[in-house]
Amino acid sequence: MAVEGRSPGVVIICSYPPPYAGMAIYAERLSAYLLERGFDCKVIDVGRDKTRGKAEHVLRPFGGRVLKYFSAMWLLLRCRADVLHINCSSYGNFWASMLVGAFGKIIGRKVLLTVHGGSFPKRVSGFGLIRRVCARIGLSFPDAVICVNDQIEAAVRSLGVPQQRIKLIPAFCLHYLSDTVAREQIPNTVVAFCESHDRVLVSGISLESAYGWRTLIDATDVLRATLPNIGLVIMGSGVDADKCAEMIAARGLSGNVLMAGDLPHPLALTICKEFADIMVRPTLVDGDSSFVREGIALGKPTVASDTDFRPEGVILFKKGDAQDLAEKVEYALEHKEEIEAQLKEIEHPDYFAETLEVYERLLQQKPVRRRGSPVDA
């Protein structure tokens, strides 16, 4: 794919690790995928973490919750961008994303919006007339909209986006499952913990209420009655980290639960490959969890809450129900070999290649108008 005899330029607006959470990992992996294929790619990191110098192709706008999006527009003016790929999840950054998308169209970029947030359909269903009209106007600016599951797709359609502008593409790429580290690079505390427990559960979540960490701790407490030497590794960070640690201590689970903190994605994948008997996703809402898809692709029995969407092969439990989660984990452990054999039969398309096809279609619609000068970053 080329634009006027040069490599196409793509600017991704998204959070970028650290912290190592779903959308940030998506931006890290997608940008690497594009750079490997000769794209001129930049990521404008609008995440909460204000660390600069994360990677050569990552730009950090200044400002807080709102101002950073205006700063991102300034950075966009200076980037060599043919396609502006905006990613949104929460209710708040949906509106900011609409503003950036409108700006992208004004300066002549092709605009692609990806909607990740699992809570998006419920939010849309509660829109009044004014918000619905504003959302319809905002969604008229993107040239295409990628939805990561069919419930989000239905919500986007309900806001007036025609089907021909919508593409259903999960936010996952099998290509990067091999991006791991040597076993020797796993922290000694994690290795010692996993090797000292008969069965090991691994969960990758943000420590915030919507991610179901309380349900996870409660379920571990239930499981301890029949599996006293069960271990749970929690990978992730968040505003509730102290509350989580306090709950673990109060339940007397300090020997059964390890809070491993925020880990680079290759390291987290290695821990899952080497030690996880079961992978667990206890969230109350989800779009299309990369952690769940990674579990299925790794051939690990994966137990996840029954949110609006889960891919093939997942063992579902009632969200928020610790007893049901514990029962489903016990079932997965009892039928582990059978489940692993079934998971080997599931196919995993190259979803990033499908995203590149969307880029190509947008670039072929008409010549891209160039503005500004490239950033040397």
- In the sheet that 278-281 helps form, which strands lie side by side, from edge to edge? 257-261, 230-235, 199-204, 278-281, 302-305, 315-317
The band of 341, judged by pLDDT with boundaries at 50, 70 and 90, is very high
- List the single range of 58-67, 112-121, 320-329, 359-368 with lowest mean pLDDT: 359-368
Alpha carbon distance 13, 221 (integer Å): 40
What is the arithmetic mean of pLDDT over 195-220? 97
Rg of the Cα atoms in the chain: 21
β-pair partners for 204: 235
Instruction: Please say whether the beta carbons of 290 and 26 come within 8 A.
Output: yes
For residue 182, the tally of other CB atoms under 10 A from its CB is 7
Where do the domains of the chain lie? 9-173+350-365, 176-343
Alpha carbon distance 355, 135 (integer Å): 24
Kindly indicate whether the domain formed by 176-343 is annotated with CATH number 3.40.50.2000.
yes
Provide CATH code, domain 9-173+350-365.
3.40.50.2000
Picking from 217, 281, 204, the residue whose alpha carbon sits closest to that of residue 243 is: 217
Fold: same for 9-173+350-365 and 176-343: yes
What is the arithmetic mean of pLDDT over 43-47? 94
Tell me what pLDDT residue 178 has: 83
Picking from 254, 249, 114, 235, the residue whose alpha carbon sits closest to that of residue 186 is: 235
Instruction: Please say whether the beta carbons of 91 and 64 come within 8 A.
Output: no
- Report the mean per-residue pLDDT for the chain: 92
Model confidence over 65-103: pLDDT tens digits?
789 999 999 999 989 899 999 999 866 689 999 999 999
Model confidence over 265-306: pLDDT tens digits?
999 999 999 999 999 999 998 988 999 999 999 999 999 999
Picking from 71, 63, 13, the residue whose alpha carbon sits closest to that of residue 42 is: 13
With 60 as the cut, is the pLDDT of residue 375 above it?
Answer: no
Model confidence over 106-165: pLDDT tens digits?
999 999 999 998 889 989 999 999 999 999 999 999 999 999 999 999 999 999 999 999
CA torsion sign for 177, 182, 187, 188 is positive
Residue 248: half-sphere exposure toward Cβ, Cα within 13 Å: 19
State if pTM tops 0.85.
yes
Instruction: Please say whether the beta carbons of 118 and 88 come within 8 A.
Output: no
With 70 as the cut, is the pLDDT of residue 366 above it?
Answer: no
**Percent of the chain having pLDDT more than 90?**
81
Model confidence over 176-195: pLDDT tens digits?
888 889 999 999 999 999 99
The band of 2, judged by pLDDT with boundaries at 50, 70 and 90, is low
What is the arithmetic mean of pLDDT over 201-209? 96
With 70 as the cut, is the pLDDT of residue 368 above it?
Answer: no
Instruction: Please say whether the beta carbons of 358 and 84 come within 8 A.
Output: no
Per DSSP, helices labelled H in the chain are 22-36, 67-77, 91-106, 120-125, 129-138, 150-158, 188-195, 213-223, 241-250, 265-275, 290-297, 322-334, 336-343, 351-365
What do you get for the CA distance between the two ends of the chain, in Å? Answer: 23
